Structure 1
């Protein structure tokens, strides 16, 4: 190996560019081996490689930069990293158009910025990380702008390298810069459009090519949010004082009141200076304990960018009693907290990386990336506007604030959490603004059921089964009572001399003891229903073997009855046919002679026949009679209408029970709500199960 390395190093110093180019081209594939790198450095190859990186051009330069980057990746060659090399690489990134040169240059800077501690010449001054680049960036101030512009490059590898370098700069700045410096650097990147560029990449089709730097940027975004949240609001800091004062000044309707002779008066603290903005007391700092400076930033951004809406809201609220005023500041902090929880900002970034390794496939990457977190401010504004809308539409009062917060939480979880990776933030904003309150309440009830199911799944299943049985018995009784009332049915119209005879009507009614079905045919329907004793037909239900119908059945029904679907037929063609075991003549004679054969014993000599045909005029009557007859025979109901009614009743029963069960502290954190008083109430109330409250 040593002979080969010596020969390679010698060729790196050749006077002919073609020889140097071929040598450094071969070096790319070998220098990543630490043992090879050690021999290469021992043969003084590092000095020649550094020289090529500083002075070569074209492909020779590209191969040299790539080789040097791979050497740094195996933690070798740091003794040759100095300000001259850094300045050269920064210059190339700013001025050079060739993609293969830019890739290597960016990889070198990523290693320098990410290196925890530097050796060699840089370490003499204790300069490493982002600080190593600052002198060169001062010479080439357009460096960051060019770097952000590379994020829109059509070359995926270059784009990934640029984002990787931005990530390294951000991470080092957050970790090592002072509290005053790192926010300025982050703000500068945002002003250059890094959020928009990364958001586009996250929504793009080349997700796998950029996956690693994108997941790191997403994790860094969480680190930033967490860092801002962990900074307590401190009015001794000028920036914090300015932010809070800006909120107050934006709330003043007449800015002229702070000028001229009114300056002294305007400076006096009103007894409701902060409470009228939605703070719980005149010490607003206390309310930022949970969300820290992040909560202050979100509130200040809303007030600054939506000042007209802010002032209009304050003016509207000022005309209402104190208990009915929407607490704007409290609402803003609540939305910040909701977003913080939704995006799992406290989740460790290493967990994101592990998740990526597990989910490294195109379909699962869609679940891993959350582009909407990059538009935190816009989501906060949309969530806050949703809070205002719900407050107005529900006529809420201060004691209802927590309920509105919970509704906003559910809405954000549903809309933001349910949005696919490629959905644009503007569409999400529109969905939040247009989500109907009634849908939100239904969603809340579904989540309530799921919450109980998680906590008490076994007990809840038992309750569901009980309610299902109770609902079935309730509907069975309702259907049978319809049979007890009786109903008119159009009768079959036989042909007479090729013409239809006058239509006849058939009346059928269940006997009071529920054992016989009486029926009779009439020329017309009377005002009053006929009495049972005038109905000549009579069927003993104990001999009924089956009920056949063409009424549409519920998709999940199961019954021994034959059911045919006829969706295109008219209602008048709906038919219910009752089959039974008609006794044979021999069996009838034996019975009449008193041979003592019971009905069950004689069924062997009986054959099934049509006992009665009914033609219901509507689907409701058809459902009532078909399922009523089936349930009389101890069979399950089969029509969609009956199944829907059973489900409706059991669901209402479950919701009523859920709303009457009190959570304990083990299920929900915090104090249990107070039980409302019934003082002044009477028992004069009712609930319409079909029409709502």
Structure 2
């Protein structure tokens, strides 16, 4: 049955002709052709519809939804009317929520599955979620998760995952439930559609720590840690989740094993969970967590993904892992070596035992000689690792463990030489750590500026081993003496630059081959490089200055990128990619253009869609819709295509085979769904927005464009040269290091007042 109605405010007949016609299907099967004035509220439209259809129940018991089940609200009704969307009259969300909560107690498997399937969609709506929570729906949903299996469990977990998109309503999840999710995810027999939402739930809990709360936090008086306001969902975090993960040893092993899953989405979700854990790891459990990842060869698994993955979906996750690994390296490099710390002492003990040396006393001074036999300058181990930190100790330990016979043989050989001719192996190891840190710009725990895969970076310890062996060989072949240490360091730096070039396209065996190069050829190439280089740049004070300037440059570029987001820009609404779950032909966006602008609080990305560009006023009044920044889990690039005939007919179907634009990007949420698909007008705007949005992410992020990476490097080098002009212009000699003088003989002194 079809009827006709007109829902308008007081306007002329001529104006009515301009109002689009929408189809509204009622609960009894009647279809009404309606002209709906976009200035009316949804409540007014529903009331008039109930009057026209002579529905006796209060109009507040009903609501409008699009055919896709999206709820029509005052915010999106204008868009639905203009796009001539097919609508349907349905129960109001609060009625649907009550009925759904009641059905969750059903013992009929079919009824339960259908209810949970619908719940997955509806629970994202606040108008549904709030009454659902009031009717004790969450507790019933959790009971199902704890007892169900198969598709029923998958639907229930997905419903909870969608609820957790809200920043309230799930603060009652306790340790027992978190452990249940850990157990579900740990089971190798769990279905993929079960593992995906379970992984996403754990990731969300990890990120829901008090420090991430957009509101105030309370300080804990007992431990000095931030704690959540009562009732806030920001009460979990890494420590809470990891405590339950420790009870199930198989969890991390299972998650890491799924990185190589044939199901790309499963590998992507697993990678996102690992990245989230790395980014939020607490100081108390950080060492334990990373040690577990190392035992499971996580870095090796990620390196395998770099060459085997066939989907762009994983690219962003891999780059995030690289950025997180740089944080790991930086953290270890800035952690002091404590010889009395049991774990540090154990590493030192292995190194000493591996050398095969014995302690002895100097006949002239009576001092004990131990660590100096291995190539340190002093017996003060803490001071010797002052620059390279725990990273230096671990690299030296790995060097020894790789081939203990070789290490012992080299040490014996060096000790048997005259003092001036000995290669300071321990000192060389630390220097290689510095050279590698310099090469990969490990200057701060911030973002990685690499826009390509870096498999050699993830093999940091192996590269260190090869480079240290190369150092020893260059020392021996060049017949170096103690005064030649800096010269050999420069030689190794030159070789690293050549060997680690084009990292994303070279094979590991090529790296090993390059480190076997002979002294003569290495020296000849280095001499050519020195014609264009300056030995001044290799000195420790200059390297430290470069690190400082790098941090300042990165922060400057970050502020510039964020400023571009605050100003806003126009983008083309792109044709989204066809997902593996939906092979239907993509459809052209209803409007060609979108203006995006970040709010001053850096929490929401506001936007408006339009058929043509128009002048956007300052502020957010013209921008009617928004995306919450915290919901963005990934900024995927090169993902979508520009519709052909951009200004042409908007109703034609598009072919599936459209090629993605290099200037496109998509904002992906934790479910893997795209919240926005845009194409930038040029490469600069693309770099501003993709990198700016990445830099806003608290859980990490990476630079996606070479332009941004180039800016950071260029600013660093320019700043360094300007600083050096003040010194080199006056021919000031820059020492390789500073030596502290002896301490005061007594405390009878004071500091003068300047």
| Same fold (TM > 0.5) | yes
- 1:163 and 1:669 map into 2 onto residues whose CA distance is 52
Shift of 1:166: 2.0
Q: Within the alignment, does 1:128 sit opposite 2:236 as a pair?
A: yes
Q: Is the 8 A contact 2:330 2:443 kept in 1?
A: yes
Does 2:495 correspond to 1:377?
no
1:52 is aligned to 2:136 = no
Superimposed CA distance per residue, residues 191-248 of structure 1 (whole angstroms, 9 cap, x where no aligned partner): 1221211121123333622133322221221111111111122233233333333322
Residue 183 of structure 1 is matched in structure 2 by: 287
Give the Å deviation of 1:157. 0.8
Report Cα offsets for 1:574-620 as digits up to 9, x if no partner: xxxxxxxxxxxxxxxxxxxxxxxxxxxxxxxxxxxxxxxxxxxxxxx
* Counterpart residue number, 2:415: 318
- Say if 1:264 and 1:393 are closer, same or farther in 2 by CA, change over 3 A: closer
8 Å Cα contact 2:260-2:301 kept in structure 1 = yes
Tell whether 2:292 aligns with 1:200.
no
Residue of structure 2 in register with 1:152 after alignment: 260
Q: State the distance in 1 between where 2:730 and 2:525 align.
A: 19
Contact preservation (8 Å) 1:419, 1:428: no
Aligned twin of 1:223 = 327
Contact persistence 1:9–1:44 (CA under 8 A): no
Q: Deviations over 1:24-59 (max 9, x none)?
A: 323334434555544543454433433332333322
> What is the TM-score of this pair, normalised by structure 2?
0.53
Aligned equivalent of 2:186, options 94, 105, 110: 94
| 2:249 aligned to which of 141, 164, 175 | 141
Contact 1:11 1:19 in 2 (8 A): no
Q: State the 1:669 CA deviation.
A: 11
CA shift, 1:84, in A, is 3.0
Answer yes or no: is 1:404 the counterpart of 2:497: no
- Do the aligned residues in 2 keep the contact of 1:203 with 1:371 (CA within 8 Å)? no
CA contact under 8 A between 1:9 and 1:48: conserved in structure 2?
no
- Give the Cα–Cα distance (whole angstroms) in 1 for the partners of residues 232 and 101 of structure 2: 29
Q: Which residue of 2 aligns with 1:103?
A: 196
Q: How many residues end up aligned between the 2 structures?
A: 440
Separation in 2, partners of 1:251, 1:385: 15
Structure 2, unmatched stretches of 5+, are: 1-62, 64-90, 214-226, 538-723, 737-754
Is the CA contact 2:331–2:445 (under 8 Å) kept in the aligned structure 1? no
1:213 maps to which of 310, 317, 332: 317
- Alpha-carbon distance, 1:273 to partner: 2.4
Q: Residue 147 and residue 673 in structure 1: after superposition, are their counterparts in 2 closer, same or farther (change >3 A)?
A: closer
1:332 and 2:415 matched:
no
TM-score, scaled to structure 1: 0.57
2:171–2:235 Cα contact (<8 Å) kept: no
2:386 corresponding residue in structure 1: 289
Q: Trace 1:613-624 onto structure 2 (pairs within 5 A).
A: none
Tell me if structure 1 keeps the 8 A contact 2:268–2:313: yes
Partner of 1:558: none
Give the superposed CA RMSD.
3.7
Residues 168-567 of structure 1 aligned to structure 2 (within 5 Å): 168-173=276-281, 176-178=282-284, 181-206=285-310, 208-253=312-357, 271-349=368-446, 351-352=447-448, 367-416=451-500, 418-433=501-516, 435-451=517-533
Q: Closer, same or farther in 2 for the Cα pair 1:667/1:153, shift >3 Å?
A: farther
- Of Structure 1 and Structure 2, the greater helix share is in 1
Q: Measured at CA, do residues 439 and 667 of structure 1 come closer, stay the same or move farther in structure 2, by a change above 3 Å?
A: farther
User: Residue 207 of structure 2 corresponds to which residue in structure 1?
Assistant: 114
Which of 1 and 2 has higher RCO (CA within 8 Å, sep 6+)? 2
Q: Distance in 2 between matches of 1:415 and 1:324?
A: 28
Contact 1:278 1:330 in 2 (8 A): yes
* Cα pair 2:455 2:503 within 8 Å, conserved: no
In terms of Rg, which structure is larger?
1
- The answer (yes or no) to whether the contact 1:663–1:672 under 8 Å persists in 2 is no
How far 1:169 sits from its partner (Å)?
Answer: 2.7
CA distance in 2, matches of 1:3, 1:17: 26
Alignment partners' CA distance in 2, 1:34 and 1:200: 42
Deviation at 1:87, TM superposition (A): 2.3
After TM superposition, give the deviation of residue 440 of structure 1 in Å. 2.6
Gaps of 5+ in 1: 357-366, 456-661, 675-693
The corresponding residue for 1:491 is: none
Aligned partners of 2:440 and 2:464: how far apart in 1?
12
CA separation of 1:405/1:316 partners in 2, compared to 1, >3 Å: closer, same or farther?
A: same
